[in-house]
Amino acid sequence: MPIDAPARGQQPRHAPADAPAAVTAPPPVAGEPCVLLKLGEVVLKGKNRELFERRLHNNIRAALKGLGIPIHVGAREGVIVVRADRGGTVEDVDAIARRLGDVMGIVWVHRAWRVAKDVDATVRAALDLVAQHPLVSDPARRPAFAIKARRRDKRFPVRSSELNILVGAAVQDRYDLPVNLKHPEITVSIEVDQREVFVFTDGVPGQGGLPVGMSGRGLVLMSGGIDSPVAAYRMMRRGLRVDFLHFSGMPFTGPESIYKAYALTRELDKFQGGSRLYVVPFGKAQQQIRSSSADRLQIIAQRRLMLKTGQALARRLGDATLVTGDSLGQVSSQTLTNITALDDAVDLPILRPLIGMDKVEIMSEARRIRTLGISELPDEDCCTLLTPRRAETRAKIDDLRQIERRLDAGEMAEQLAAGVQEHRPGYDEPAPAAI
């Protein structure tokens, strides 16, 4: 569709299509609604930059598939434009913007208007956008504004500073609002591109980081607790595509921890798509460790067996690293000595993105990514099964290796990994009635 024609169903968000035309109802913006994305990690150059953008385009398409809106993803210099094919409704574009707020590698998500590349169309869109702004529709307010124009196409005959003055004067004339360049309450951004002009008033911060998949693949050991989902999020944000592995205490506990791991994986899937959760019933193995008289080493021996099982599964899945939610000193298994003893259990690197974070910081991130509520649901964590009265804080690696020789821990890990149950708790897929 021509870009200066009003889009189908285009209505300001607060005025439904069938609402009686109020005297103050702002006009629809003349142009095509679209989403403008600002990219992160601008320090990346050359081949890495290409890889970043190619991966991000694919991830954007995959994330939007579930909406069922045909889209067009276009590259511009340092930005990406996502349009609903054949001109979408404002609601379509709002849904696209919301979904892209979860895609890694995007720093800002702007709901923009794409207008013809001339000054009149730009002024018209800016005026309409200001009219739609909630601060302007409030008769008690007289908000200060600023126009921030930039040209990605330097051949455009009107310079940025001239555009600022031109559009600013039009806004002042029409709405009698004060200009404040330092602390505006409303900022109208104008970006002149090669084929069109984008006009928008605000945006929401994206997740930042790198597109998922750019840094390879890893396996997250995910309990039902608060920390490991945040660790998964942190690594996805550094471009790691992750699989999830959960150990339940079954058959000696109920299935609640599995439901939590399922719900957590489903919530985290919004950041990468196509997530897989692998579940190991671990109760019997825990009992075997106890029978080998691990005593005060019970917890650390269990954690080593989890890591060994994780490594066996990771090799099968092609995951090159393990990820845990360890934070230094948080619990007895996370002293420096014990962490060293855990590293000794496997050859694969163990990434611990939360190692230097406080519980308060971890919890606030868990709240932001919406995993906290799920993590706080009650369950019977397998680690609280068979807990010794006093846990060892300075585990000796030789003692642990001796216990593992008695158990044939290598073989146990292989068998546990071979017996995993696989689930696919996709964010965009309907939840099954029961798992």
Binding site residues, ligand ATP, CB under 6 A: 221-223, 225-228, 245-247, 306, 324-326, 330-331, 333-334, 382-383
Q: Is the peptide bond before 251 cis (omega within 30 degrees of 0)?
A: yes
Q: How near is the Cβ of 344 to ligand ATP at its closest, in Å?
A: 16
Nearest-approach distance from CB 223 to ligand ATP, in angstroms: 3
For ligand ATP, the closer of residues 56 and 220 by Cβ is 220
Q: Which stretches does DSSP call E strand in 94-212?
A: 106-115, 145-151, 186-192, 197-200, 203-205
Instruction: Tell me the closest approach of the beta carbon of residue 245 to ligand ATP, in angstroms.
Output: 6
Which does residue 130 touch among ligand ATP, Mg ion, none (CB within 5 to 8 A, set by kind)? none
Nearest to Mg ion of 287, 330 (CB atom): 330
**CB nearer to Mg ion: pick between 107 and 386:** 386
Measured distance CA(221)–CA(280) in Å, rounded = 11
Smallest gap from Cβ 337 to Mg ion, in A, equals 19
**191 touches, from ligand ATP, Mg ion, none (C-beta below 5 to 8 Å by class):** none
323 residue type, one letter: V
Of residues 166 through 225, those in contact with Mg ion by CB under 5 A are 223, 225
Yes or no: say if 85 and 72 are a contact pair by the CB < 8 Å rule: yes
Q: Which residues contact 401 (CB under 8 A, 6 or more apart)?
A: none
Helix, strand, or coil (residue 243): strand
Binding partner at 246 among ligand ATP, Mg ion, none, C-beta below 5 to 8 Å by kind: ligand ATP
Give the whole-angstrom CA distance, residue 40 versus residue 150: 19
115 interface partner picked from Mg ion, ligand ATP, none, CB below 5 to 8 A per type = none
Residues 112, 39: Cα–Cα separation, whole Å:
16
Q: 27: closest CA among 121, 127, 118?
A: 127
Comparing C-alpha atoms, which of 265, 259, 263, 260 is closest to residue 220?
265
Sequence-separated (6 or more) residues with CB below 8 Å from residue 51: 214
Q: CA 108, CA 379: separation in Å to the nearest integer?
A: 37
Is the CB of 330 or the CB of 393 nearer to ligand ATP? Answer: 330
Instruction: Give least dist CB 352 to ligand ATP, A.
Output: 8
Report the residue number, 129 or 357, with the smaller CB distance to Mg ion: 357
- Give which of Mg ion, ligand ATP, none residue 325 binds (C-beta under 5 to 8 Å, depending on kind): ligand ATP
Residue nearest to ligand ATP (CB): 225
Residue 325 CB neighbour total at 10 angstroms: 25
Question: Which residue lies nearest Mg ion, judged by its C-beta?
Answer: 225
Nearest to 282 by CA among 421, 153, 75: 421
The listed partner (ligand ATP, Mg ion, none) that binds 192, CB under 5 to 8 Å by sort, is none
Closest approach of Cβ 179 to Mg ion, in Å?
A: 55
C-beta of 200 vs 247, nearer to ligand ATP: 247
Distance spanning both ends of the chain, measured CA to CA: 46
Give the residue among 246, 295, 234, 303 at the shortest CA–CA distance from 423.
246
Task: Give me the least distance between CB of 284 and ligand ATP, in Å please.
Answer: 14
- C-alpha 108/C-alpha 100 separation (Å) is 10
CB of 373 to ligand ATP, least distance (A): 14
Using CB under 5 A as the binding rule, whether residue 88 contacts Mg ion is answered as no
Structure tokens at 422: 């696989």
Q: Work out how close the CB of 222 gets to ligand ATP at its nearest, in angstroms, rounded to a whole number.
A: 5
Nearer to ligand ATP, 84 or 226 (CB): 226
Alpha carbon 408 to chain centroid, angstroms: 40
Q: With CB cut-offs between 5 and 8 Å by kind, which of ligand ATP, Mg ion, none does residue 221 bind?
A: ligand ATP
Binding mask 221-250 for Mg ion (x = CB under 5 A): --x-x-------------------------
Nearest to ligand ATP of 46, 378 (CB atom): 378
**Which pair of tokens denotes residue 44?**
């990346």
3-state secondary structure of 215: coil
User: Where do contacts with Mg ion occur on this chain (CB under 5 A)?
Assistant: 223, 225
